[in-house]
Amino acid sequence: MFQLKHTPFHERTSKLSLPQNWRRWAGHIVVGSYDLHVEREYWAIRDAVALIDVSPLMKYMIEGPDAARLLDKLVPRDIGKMAVGQVGYTGWCDDEGKLLDDGTISRLGETTFRLTSAEPSLRWLSMNAVGLDVTVTEVTEKMGALSLQGPKARTVLNLVCKKSLDKLKYFRVMENTLAGKKVTISRTGYTGDLGYEIWMETADALAVWDALMEAGHNYGIVPCGILAMDMARVEAGLFMIDVDYTAANHAWIEGQKSSPLEMGLDWAVHLDKPGYFVGRRALEREQREGSAWKLMGFEVDWAGMEPLFAAVGLPPQIPAMAVRGSLPVKQGDKQVGYASTSTWSPVLKKYIALVHLQRPYYEPGTPLTMEVTVEHKRLQAPGKVVKLPFYEPEWKKK
Q: Which residues are annotated as a binding site for substrate?
A: 197
CA torsion sign for 264, 267, 272, 273 is negative
Q: Which residues, listed in sequence order, are joined to residue 294 by a DSSP beta bridge?
A: 357
Report how far residue 240's alpha carbon sits from residue 233's, in angstroms, rounded to the nearest whole number.
9
Phi, psi of 286 (to 5 degrees): -65, -40
The strand ranges marked E within 173-259 are: 173-178, 181-186, 195-201, 221-223
Give the annotated binding-site residues. Answer: 197
Q: Are the beta carbons of 340 and 326 closer than 8 angstroms? A: yes
Report how far residue 144's alpha carbon sits from residue 122's, in angstroms, rounded to the nearest whole number.
19
Phi, psi of 386 (to 5 degrees): -135, 160
Report how far residue 313's alpha carbon sits from residue 295's, in angstroms, rounded to the nearest whole number.
35
Sorted by sequence, the CB contacts under 8 Å of residue 376 that are 6+ apart come out as: none
What b/e readout covers 130-153, taking b as 16+ CB neighbours within 10 angstroms?
eeeebebeeebeebbbbbbbbbbb
| Number of neighbouring beta carbons within 10 Å of residue 358 | 17
Q: Within its chain, how far is the Cα of 114 from the centroid?
A: 17
Spatial CA neighbour of 379 closest among 316, 297, 315, 308 = 308
Report how far residue 239's alpha carbon sits from residue 36's, in angstroms, rounded to the nearest whole number.
25
Report how far residue 212's alpha carbon sits from residue 178's, in angstroms, rounded to the nearest whole number.
9
